[in-house]
Chains A and B, each alone.
Chain A
């Protein structure tokens, strides 16, 4: 079945550092890929998405590129802020009856 694997956290960075959170997936067919973010006490919010190979999703300075050859969708940001501290979830959505499948989440802590 479909699965998503994320790097374990927490990831602790200083403000303005470069961020990478790794995500790889296993799925049949050509899924769409997502990054969601969860702030403390909140539900998940869609951060960005990509629907086909080589697509780049971007939002709020975050980017991720759909790499079919490596089955990856790594999240990057050039300069993180304290307000980016949250838990980040990678997810995929296949065609047909399959629901959204989430990774285990990666907690990011950004220190001033």
Chain B
């Protein structure tokens, strides 16, 4: 399977704990994106990387959230001191990142986070 993969698929944690999610993009894709989706809503942009550089962060990404893409390949999204409001599906996507007019993002299956 050469699609975007995310691990874990499900995570249940207690409030106050730290969690880390991993995303492996499609190989040779330069751009990697993180989105958050809550029930009944469309995905909301969190941040994106061009290779290893984090180029944009949403205001949704509070200080408790940090994302890395150290070697320009896989990425991790860490949430510190989780809150119940962090419960959501966290989606990762990747794209070639060449031409804006045709740059298609391909999504992974998501990590569903439940904070108790």
Instruction: Report whether chain A binds chain B.
Output: no
**B interface with A by C-beta (< 8 Å):** none
**A interface with B by C-beta (< 8 Å):** none
